[in-house]
Structure formats: structure tokens, C-alpha cells
Amino acid sequence: MTRLRALSRVVMLVLVLAVVLYPLVWVLGSALKSPTEITSNQSVWPEEVTWSNFTVGWGYIPGVSFGRFFWNSFLIAGASVLANCVSCLLTAYAFARLKFFGRRGWFALMIVTLLLPGHVLIIPQYVMFHEFGWVDTPLPLIVPKLLATEAFFVFLMVQFMRGIPRELDDAAKIDGSGPYRIFWHVIAPLARPALITTAIFSFIWTWNDFFAQLVYLPSVRSYTVPIALRLFVDSSGQTSLGPMLAMSVLSLLPVFLFFLAFQRFLVQGISTSGLKG
Amino acid sequence: MVLTTATRPEAAAAPPAPPRRRSRRNAGRRQEGLAGYVFLSPWLIGLMAVTAFPVLFSLYLSFTDYDILSSWDMLNWVGTANYEKIFTTDPIFWKSVRVTLTYALIAIPLKLTASLGVALLLNRERRGIGLFRSAFYLPSLLGGSVALALVWVAIFNGEGSFNSFLSLFGLQGEPWINDPDWALGTLMVLSVWQFGGPMVIFLAGLKQVPTELYEAASVDGASRVRQFFHVTLPMLSPVIFFNLVLETIHGFQGFTSAYVISNGTGGPVYSTKIYTLMIYDKGFTDFQMGYASALAWIFLAAIGLITVVFFSTGRFWVHYSDGGES
């Protein structure tokens, strides 16, 4: 009886898993089909593996190759990772370990900004950055992250730092260390797991981000991968389906590789802090 | 503020300590207070410049006809005209509100149910269970991307593989994403498909439920169904609440998939014109920044209201085992 129950549980899991993973297997299989096969062969696996979709897709947009878009995306995502890690670590240290006038009030305000929808901020921010002459540069996408505006990561690191034993600070204080030395020699090294989680999610979210990049990067040469991918829809003929899927596969690849390498951190990070994926 | 009023009288009442030690301790405290603000400064600047000022600026803009194209001296204060127009004559506003609410009211409960269901299936210590857990989580990472939205279009259009699948059973499919009755449905499926995020949080919550409760319940002869409703659900209610708040806020802010699937139009016939798409459209296609700001402020007020409603009704059904307020 219990064995039967266990078996049915596994069967159900496998069935759900098949449904969940189907779109991903499908996009991979279809990207490897030739243009004629893509419409005729409805099976997931290609009869004959062709790579032409990738070469056609790479140069699909006249004048600019996907290499450029990937470079832009990597640049922005890389800068965001660095900016988030540094700024959120500094902020979290203040909230988690230092006593200062007004700390509770500021912390409450930080939590409120967590709930503030980006769509409310985008118009005034756009007007501001437009006045600065920053539109069509990566600056509007990076500078706010230097200022710890991703409150999720601050929150995550505060939660983590609260778990670091106070005795370590006290020992350092007795040795004559001030808050700066404690930060640099005690807290920052110990906060590494939280930093790694922040780095991974920063990368993936920035890589997948569409809204802000769509608004701030209007010219083709500054496009990132998601913005460029959208161009395949504008001319939605069946012939572009293969190249579109091929480029989609390539754009999913960095996130997928991150997932494979860091899945332990990802799943832990999500369950301890309630971060969104 | 609380900190200083609490510490000051205490310091005054304390017997005078040896002068050198006290000054050193005060110096240490002052140094720490100063350091606090030094470490906080990037965030404080960000709060003022990138959050607080824009929020207030947007409120101001919402009472103007600002259009970004003309210079600042051309800007007119129009009072509440934008708001009046939105609520009375805008032909798309109420449609968009309906689309957004339909999406939220159907997709969020489905997503939470799916995530709880799979979490219950996964809540067993067994070899290889981690692999399942990770695989179910993968769509949550990829799902918000443009690439997956494009894949969705390819799967759910008239000639897509979903219809080929249906034809295996002799069923006649629809051109799902091009049908005004079904387009929003495909968006919902995409959102439910990313159930991995709340699922992982549910799993963490299920691990916290003490096994003694189940043992006691089965000694009392409670069936598995009864155990679920009388042990699991109440014990899990804080996590359900947390996921509900998170998913609601997240659900209202969906943008990428609706934009990509409708090619930026919110079509067919406004059926996927979710609220954020309308804000984007007014602001960045029509360049009516003032009007778009008014739309954004209504959005902000609505989300604020929903959050308040959640937190004020939460105490009626959220059960904390320690009796405290989380």
C-alpha cells in the first residue's frame, strides 16, 4: 500500500516534470531543425541536425551581429553584479551591525521601497536621466545599482549578517578594531555566501530584464540581447522562426549555465529570503 | 530616535565612570554612529535621488501635460484633468484594469495551488529529490525572459505544437495567442508555468511543520485529507500569506511576456493590455509623460491598498505557532 503510494507519487512527479520541461526541450529541438522541417516535423527531435539557424540568426539584423548584443548584455550584467555586491554589502553592514541614530526608521523605509513597483518610477527616472543626457548609454541601468537601490539584496544580506555571531565583533573591538576594520576583516569575508547569491541573482535578473533596457536603449548598436530578440517578432514570417529560436536558445544559455553551476545556492537563496526567480 | 531617548537617561543616571573610560566609550559610540552613516551613504543618496525624488516628481508630473518633447517652459499645470480623463473618458483604462484583475485573480491562485501541490509531492527525503526540485525551479529563472515569451508564441499560435498535440486527440485547436478570448489565457499559462519560486518557499515551510503533529493526528485517526486541512494548511499559513503577497505584487507588475506576445500592442483587441503595458504605451509611445504619471500613481495607490488589505485581513487566517506577530 505505502509502496504503491510512493510509486504513484514518483509517476506524478515525472509527468509534471515532462510538462514543465517540454517548452525547453521543444525550443532546443526546433532550433536544430531545417526551415522546411520546422513546419513539417512536429516531433521534438530533429530528423537531421542543422546549424544554419544559428548562423542565419547571428547576422539576422542588418549591420549589427548578435555578438554586439551579447557584449552589451554581458557588460551591463557584469557591471550590475559588481555594483549590487559592493553597494548592498555596505548598506547591509550598517543596518545589521551598527547602531546609529534613526536606524530603525531608515530600515523600515528600505522595506517600503521593496514594495515600490518599478513602473511607477520609470517615467520620472527617465525624465531625469534624459536631462542628464544618459539615455542610450548603460548609465541609467548601472548607476542606480551603485546606490543600493535593489532593496532585495540589501534585505538578503541583512538577514544573513544577523546570523553572524556578535562575539566576533566584540573580540575585534577588544583588539582595538573600529567599525571599518570589523567590516573589512570580519563581516565582508564571512558574508561570502550572501554575496555569491546576490551576484548570481543580479546577473540573471539583469540578463533577463527587458523593461528598463527597452526604455533606455533606443538605438540598435546599444541593444542588449532581449531587445534584439524582439526584432524577430516585428517581421514574423515563418522563415524567421528557426533563427529566432536559435538566438533564443543562445540567450537562455548563460542563465542555464549559471543554473547548472549554482543551483544549490539558487534554491537555498530563494527559500531563505523569499527572493523572486 | 527610539535609541537615543532610551540610552540618554540611562547614561545620565549611571554613576560617573572613570573619566578616561567613559570618554573612550562615548568616542566609540560616536565613531560607530558616524560609521553607520558612512556605510549607509550610497543607499541614502540612492533613496533620495533615485527613489524618493522620482516618486514625488512623478506625482507632480501627473498634474501636468508634460510630454518630454517640448521644453520645460511649455509645461502646463492641468490640475486633476489627467485623473478625470482616466476615470471618465479614457476608453482603454477600464479595459486594462479588467484585464489586469482577471489575470491576477486567475493566474495567482493557480500558480500558488500548483506550487503547493508540487511542493507536497516533493516533501519527502529521497535520493534524487534535489534534482526534481531544481528542475521545477528552472522555469522560474528563464520564464521572465523575452526568449521564453517568443517560444510561447511559437508553441501557442495557430500552427504551433500545442495544436498539433491537440490534433492527436482529434481536437480542433484555436489560434490561441491571436484570439481575443484566449490570448490572456496563454499569458496565464506562462505565469503558472513558473511556479518554482513559491514552490521552493513552500518546501522550506513544509520542513518546519513538526512531525509530532502528524503522528498525533494519525493516532487520533485523522485521514490524510483531514491532516492536510487541519495540520498542514494552518501550519503553513504564514508561508501561504508571504507567497500570496509576493506573487500578487509580482503578478501586477508583469510586462515582458504581454509586451512580447502582443508585439507591444496589448492586442488582439486590448485583450492582453495589462496595466503596466498601458503605462509604458502612454509614456514611451505617445510621450504623454504627465498622463502616464497619473496612471502610474493610480497603480501605486492600488498596490498600496491591496497590500494594506492583505496585512489587515491576514490576522484572521494566518496562524503563527508561537502566537507572536512573525
ipTM score of the complex? Answer: 0.89
pLDDT band at A6 (very low <50, low <70, confident <90, very high): confident
Q: Is residue B1 scored above 50 in pLDDT?
A: no
Instruction: Tell me the chain B residues in contact with residue A125 when contact means C-beta distances shorter than 8 Å.
Output: 50, 54
> How far are the Cα atoms of A90, A193, B201, B227 from residue A84, in angstroms, in the given order?
10, 14, 24, 44
Q: Do B39 and A106 touch (CB under 8 A)?
A: no
Q: Does the beta-carbon distance from B147 to A270 stay under 8 Å?
A: no
pLDDT for B8 = 43
Burial of A208 (0-12, 13-18, 19+ CB in 10 A): buried
d(CA B23, CA B154): 72
CB-based contact (8 Å) between B151 and chain A?
yes
Q: Which DSSP state fits A238?
A: G
- When scoring A123, A166, A224, A268 by the number of chain B Cβ atoms within 10 A, the one with the most, hence best to mutate, is A123
* Min distance A42 CA to chain B CA atoms (Å): 7
Task: Give, in order, the Cα–Cα distances in Å from B256 to each of A120, A196, B39, B150, B280.
Answer: 16, 27, 35, 10, 11
Residue range B4-17, pLDDT digits in tens: 334 444 444 445 55
The reported pLDDT for the residue numbered B167 is: 80
B26 — pLDDT class (breaks 50, 70, 90):
confident
Q: Is the pLDDT of residue B68 over 70?
A: yes
Return the residue matching grid coordinates 566609550: B25
> Chain A interface, mutation test: which of B68, B108, B138, most A Cβ atoms within 10 Å?
B138
> Against a cut of 0.80, is the pTM above it?
yes
Nearest CB to A211 within list B118, B138, B255: B255
**Can you tell me the distance from the alpha carbon of B169 to that of B167, in angstroms, rounded to the nearest whole number?**
5
Banded pLDDT at A124 (limits 50, 70, 90): very high
Across the interface, of B35, B140, B150, the residue whose CB is closest to A232 is B150
Residues of A in contact with B133 (CB under 8 A): 267
CB contact under 8 A, B132 and A128: no
Among the partner-chain residues A13, A210, A236, the one whose CB lies closest to the CB of B132 is A13
CB contact (8 A) between residue A16 and residue B136: yes
For chain B, the average pLDDT equals 86
* CA dihedral over A275, B258, B107, B134, signed as positive or negative: negative
Report pLDDT digits (tens) over B162-190.
Answer: 887 788 787 877 888 888 888 999 999 99
Per residue in A216-270, pLDDT (tens digit) is: 999 999 999 999 998 887 655 455 888 999 999 999 999 999 888 888 777 777 7
Q: What is the pLDDT of residue B82?
A: 95
**Is pLDDT of B2 > 80?**
no
Tell me whether residues A90 and B279 touch, CB distance under 8 A: no
- Look-up of cell digits 516533493: B122
Q: What is the DSSP letter of B67?
A: -
pLDDT tier, A117 (very low <50, low <70, confident <90, very high otherwise) = confident
Cβ separation B43–A87 shorter than 8 A? yes
Chain B CB contacts of A247 below 8 Å: 147
CB B24 within 8 A of CB A173: no
Check the CA dihedral A208-A211-A215-A219 and report its sign. Answer: positive
- Write out chain B residues lying below 8 Å of A204, CB-based: 141
Give the DSSP H/E element, type plus range, for residue A264. Answer: helix A241-273
Ordered DSSP codes for B159-215: TSHHHHHHHTTT-----GGGSTTTHHHHHHHHHHHTTHHHHHHHHHHHHHS-HHHHH
Quote the CA–CA distance of B255 and B273 in Å, as a whole number. Answer: 10
Distance from CA of A212 to the nearest CA of B (A): 11
Rounded CA-CA distance A45/A33 in Å is 8
Q: How confident is the model at residue B124 (pLDDT cuts 50, 70, 90)?
A: confident
Chain B residues inside the 8 Å CB shell of A116: 51, 55, 300
pLDDT > 70 fraction of chain A, expressed in percent and rounded: 95
| pLDDT (average), residues B213-223 | 88
The separation between CA B83 and the C-alpha centre of its own chain, rounded to angstroms, equals 25
Question: What is the reported pLDDT for B302?
Answer: 94
pLDDT of residue B132: 87
Cβ–Cβ below 8 Å for B196 and A277: yes
Which chain B residues are Cβ-neighbours of A21 within 8 angstroms? 135, 138
Reported as a single tens digit per residue, the pLDDT across B76-102 is 899 999 999 999 999 899 999 999 999
Count of A–B CB contacts within 8 Å?
A: 291
Q: Quickly list H helices, chain B.
A: 2-13, 19-46, 53-61, 81-88, 93-122, 129-142, 146-156, 161-167, 183-193, 196-208, 211-219, 224-227, 233-252, 256-261, 275-280, 289-317
Residue numbers in B near A90 (CB within 8 A):
39-40, 42-43
Q: In angstroms, what separates the C-alpha of A31 from chain B's closest C-alpha?
A: 11
Which stretch, A27-31, A144-148, A195-199, B122-126, has highest mean pLDDT?
A144-148
Question: Which residue in A has a C-alpha nearest to residue B290's C-alpha?
Answer: A123
Put simply, the answer to whether B201 touches A274 (Cβ < 8 Å) is yes
Q: How far is B258 from chain A (nearest CA, A)?
A: 11
Please tell me which of the candidates B134, B204, B293 has its beta carbon nearest to residue A263: B134
Residues 6+ apart with CB under 8 A from A158: A92, A95, A96, A107
Chain B residues close to A208, C-beta within 8 Å: 141-142, 144-146, 256
Of B291, B254, B237, which is closest to residue B112 (Cα–Cα)?
Answer: B237
Q: How far is CA A231 from CA A30, A222, B177, B202, in A?
A: 19, 14, 18, 38
Residues of B in contact with A127 (CB under 8 A): 57, 61, 66, 68, 289
pLDDT tens digits along A185-215: 999 999 998 999 999 999 999 999 999 999 9
**Is-contact B256 B153, C-beta < 8 A?**
no
Report which of A155, A82, A133, A208 is spatially closest to residue B145, judged by C-alpha positions. A208
Q: Rounded distance, CA A215 to CA A263, Å?
A: 31
